[in-house]
Amino acid sequence: MAVITKRKISLTNQSERGLVLGLVRRVFAENGHEYFRQYAVVVFCLVLASGATAFLAWVMRSVIDEIFVAQNRAVLVSLPLAVFAAFVVRGVSTYWQGVILSRIGNNLVARYQRRLFRHLTELSVDFFHENRSTHLAAKINQNVSGIRDTLNLTITSIARDFLSLVFLVGVMIWLDPLLSAIALLAGPFIAWTMSSLAKKLRHATRQSIDLNARVLGSMQEAAQGITVVKAFTMEEVLRRRIEDLIVKAEARSNRIAAITERSGPITESLAGIAVAAVIAWSGYRAIAYGYSPGGLFGFITALLLAYEPAKRLAKLQVQLERALVNAQMIYEVLDIEPRQADPADARELAAIRGEIRFDAVEFGYHPGEPVLRGLSFTAPAGRTTALIGASGGGKSTVIALIQRFYDVEGGRILVDGEDIRHVTKASLRRHIAYVSQQPYMFEGTIRDNIRFGRPEASDAEVEAAAKMAQATEFIDAQPRGFDTPLGENGMTLSGGQRQRLSIARALVRDAPILLLDEATSALDTRSEILVQQALEEAMKNRTVIVVAHRLSTIVNADQILVVDGGEIVEQGTHGELLDRPTSVYSRFHNLQSRPAAAARALAESVTR
Ligand SMILES: Nc1ncnc2c1ncn2[C@@H]1O[C@H](COP(=O)(O)OP(=O)(O)OP(=O)(O)O)[C@@H](O)[C@H]1O
């Protein structure tokens, strides 16, 4: 069955703690070594900055005792200079640490974008049928930034804040071990509270990313389908639907903010208790035993300087949670294994004549719902085989299976006698040109879009293909000819023009097999004739399998297969099938003199 097989993400089977550690380890393991030197410089800068911060706390004791108490003029220049130097060191090292970390972060985003795009293009088509592309893109965008935050937050906080904290606590202990013990009592309580907040955040974060992706995706879809939106006056319906998502997304974001910010009052209160206890105890000591105010001032400076990094470290666990959800969602995509992967011993399909044979092919998209039921036929090399029949009969599925978008469940498909599962997908598809029912135009110029058929094709070859596809006339009429950029999906062109560009794309590929899903939409007579001429040119000397709707294509085909319910119910040439007066095809042929659209409709009804 064409069901996406997802490699179980081992991380999700682990305990909470294992999950978090596993993800962080994986992100670092996959990216850390690339940036080892830069990280080393960052850590060096952070050590300098933290050292300078601790020095400021340490020097305060001398400032008070030497300048204000002892009134020592000798240090009046050296101590302020030392303070100034500490600030400069802190400023410069923080600058470089920030710049290098941003560079690493941006490079990491680019690496994940590249990796994800590569992975997505390797995934099978069913993944894209089951996941809305617009939502997927929005989700990936949010999550890639999340990975960057995971690394940056962890490095900055662990290195800078943790180091600062270690230095400052060192200074505090050196100045007054007993006061330090009182001040540090709040630590374990803060850590425990943050950990329980972080767990609450995980679910809300996942929902928020999903909702935001749906909001962005829906906006993109509305823009893509704007003509349908306007024609059916769907603006209000869509607005209401998006409004609903926006309200939910806003509520989720508010909940996340409430949980994240809850860390503030909790740490503030606990830190407040610690500072109050320190003041009470040291005040009592100063009054009762006459302790020096310099020592206390230095201690309080260190304590207050330690407060900010301690607060950030405490909040880190909560913030990291969001970034970890991002990372997890990215890996959920990266861990999906491409279906129809080439077997290790897959061969390259060399030059072929182009004979295609279906041998008792069985296939279904979903379990228990067969679409093709033992389908067998041979499409001779260099000839045209037309597939006709009722809608939903399985014609497009035949075209998809030849390109190995899905694997057959029973039987086999042979190209020149070679089972297509035994050759690489890339080499198989190199021999195939495909014209889809709805021609897709990519971002770029007309020339770029034709050249997608064969990226190495010269300008002359692109122009020759356009000429054969009867497209030159309208291309020349465009403001910049072949170099005219196309709007969203080529919507600045007519349906017939897009079809001819898509035929030109197939022609420039110059492949021995042409798969053609003829458009069902009616074109005006001139366009119909032009597209027909383009197709005739494209079909010359190739093995063509065409899902045929145009009478002329069907009549001129070397072989006609009438497909219904996943089986071939009639097979033969136009003449042979007409000789059978009771055949479905004979009834269909009687409609030849009628307009093509009517014939198509009837062709479908008679095969039901
Ligand atoms: N990606 C898909 N996932 C699930 N089911 C699908 C998918 N594509 C097609 N089907 C189902 O498979 C059956 C055959 O579809 P197919 O597109 O091959 O028919 P068709 O003969 O080409 O029809 P039409 O002439 O209307 O294009 C239909 O019942 C359709 O609903």
> DSSP assignment of 205-266, as one string?
HHHHHHHHHHHHHHHHHHHHTHHHHHHTT-HHHHHHHHHHHHHHHHHHHHHHHHHHHHHHHH
Question: Which carries the bigger pLDDT value, residue 596 or residue 26?
Answer: 26
pLDDT class of 19 with cuts at 50, 70, 90: low
Average pLDDT of span 348-371: 89
Average pLDDT of span 26-45: 79
Q: Is 271 in the pocket of ligand 1 (CB under 6 A)?
A: no
- pLDDT, tens digit, 9 for 90 and up, residues 122-160: 887 878 877 777 778 778 878 887 777 766 777 667 767
Which region among 98-102, 215-219, 294-298, 407-411 has the lowest average model confidence (pLDDT)? 294-298
Contacts of 64 (CB under 8 A, 6+ apart): 293, 294, 297, 298
Q: Is 129 in the pocket of ligand 1 (CB under 6 A)?
A: yes
ipTM of the complex: 0.95
Domain boundary assignment for the chain = 10-334, 442-510
pLDDT at residue 602 in the model: 44
- pLDDT, tens digit, 9 for 90 and up, residues 453-492: 999 999 999 999 998 888 888 899 888 899 998 876 677 7
Q: Is 392 in the pocket of ligand 1 (CB under 6 A)?
A: yes
Angle of the 133-155 helix axis to the 36-62 helix axis, nearest 10: 50
Question: Which carries the bigger pLDDT value, residue 95 or residue 533?
Answer: 95
Q: Is 395 in the pocket of ligand 1 (CB under 6 A)?
A: yes
Q: pTM above the 0.80 mark? A: no
Q: How many whole angstroms from 317 Cα to the centroid of ligand 1?
A: 49
Which CATH number among 3.30.70.20, 3.50.50.60, 3.30.420.40, 3.40.50.300 corresponds to the domain 442-510? 3.40.50.300
Q: Give the integer Cα–Cα distance in Å for 494 and 497.
A: 5
Q: Is the pLDDT of residue 595 over 50?
A: no
Q: Is 562 in the pocket of ligand 1 (CB under 6 A)?
A: no
Q: How many whole angstroms from 365 Cα to the centroid of ligand 1?
A: 9
Q: How far apart are the first and last CA of the chain?
A: 26
Superfamily of domain 10-334: ABC transporter type 1, transmembrane domain (1.20.1560.10)
Residue nearest to atom 7 of ligand 1 (CA): 365
> DSSP assignment of 151-170, as one string?
HHHHHIIIIIIIHHHHHHHH
> Which residues is 562 bridged to in the sheet?
388, 570
Average pLDDT of span 542-569: 86
Q: Which atom of ligand 1 is nearest to the CA of 398?
A: 18
- Residue from 395, 402, 520, 568 to probe ligand 1 pocket by mutation (most atoms less than 8 Å from CB): 395
Q: How many whole angstroms from 396 Cα to the centroid of ligand 1?
A: 7
pLDDT at residue 69 in the model: 81
Q: How many whole angstroms from 123 Cα to the centroid of ligand 1?
A: 20
Q: Is 438 in the pocket of ligand 1 (CB under 6 A)?
A: no
Residue nearest to atom 16 of ligand 1 (CA): 394
Q: Is 566 in the pocket of ligand 1 (CB under 6 A)?
A: no
- Residue from 366, 397, 398, 550 to probe ligand 1 pocket by mutation (most atoms less than 8 Å from CB): 397
Residue nearest to atom 5 of ligand 1 (CA): 365
Q: Which atom of ligand 1 is nearest to the CA of 400?
A: 18
Q: How many whole angstroms from 395 Cα to the centroid of ligand 1?
A: 8
Which region among 15-24, 445-454, 514-523 has the lowest average model confidence (pLDDT)? 15-24
Q: Is 541 in the pocket of ligand 1 (CB under 6 A)?
A: no
